[in-house]
Structure 1
């Protein structure tokens, strides 16, 4: 993981790991010792690493210390576009690997050790749905069958009641 250096508005650089302010020379020493640094603007979060490392190279070149030979700088400028292409290719490859890994995990979840259990639960759910459908169908049939008999009973009681209430009605 890169060592985080924050750059403040006053141009001071702060090493968050060492909890102290550092100079460009200190950052150069960190890089030479094998550390990877990441310099960010404290206010915006913008990555300033390339700008800072370029500034270190420029300052050292002015002093004549650790100057990079001109032919290497020429090659660097000529190949900067190649480097960008390589960077994008690496990024694409990383994203492809991540997508494949995600699909692999998803496939293992669906087809893994729980796949049989999932299929068994699906079967049980289908069976319960069929049983529920049958029960609901039976209930509907019972309600339909019960309705006509209730209607006959109520019409018969209405007929009997009307006969008793009618004073002119004589039973044979």
Structure 2
């Protein structure tokens, strides 16, 4: 595997792609994400990795363009997790949930390609119901796993009090 592409962000807020020796825009960075290219964005002065910040900026711009993924309530829930004892588990849970969703999306596309001769509306409806059931089972499993993490109560300890003498 090759080293990730390096994009430098300068104080004037311009992004410089070292792989093509040219300035690029956030739209170009978005294209790299869509193309599944490996890259890192670093601050040109400090060399700090600021990739997450740039990705959040892209998400923010996409959310403002009219068809948002995140509702106000979802964003409020996410904000409330910061500082909570379960904050670390939440990131892992979201990552696994999104991966399960992406896997189901690929499965659905593959299944649709295999059944071109069938009634598309019926097939999509059946497939959606099937995928929803899988999605719900996956979320239930992830939730149970998160409860069984380091904060889960132990069930193998003896909770009976010793008899007092006296």
Q: Do both proteins adopt the same fold according to a TM-score greater than 0.5, normalized to the shorter chain? A: no
User: RCO higher in 1 or 2 (8 Å CA, sep ≥ 6)?
Assistant: 2
Give the greater-gyration-radius structure (CA). 1
- Normalised by the length of structure 1, the TM-score is 0.42
Q: Specify which structure has the higher proportion of helix.
A: 1
- Normalised by the length of structure 2, the TM-score is 0.43
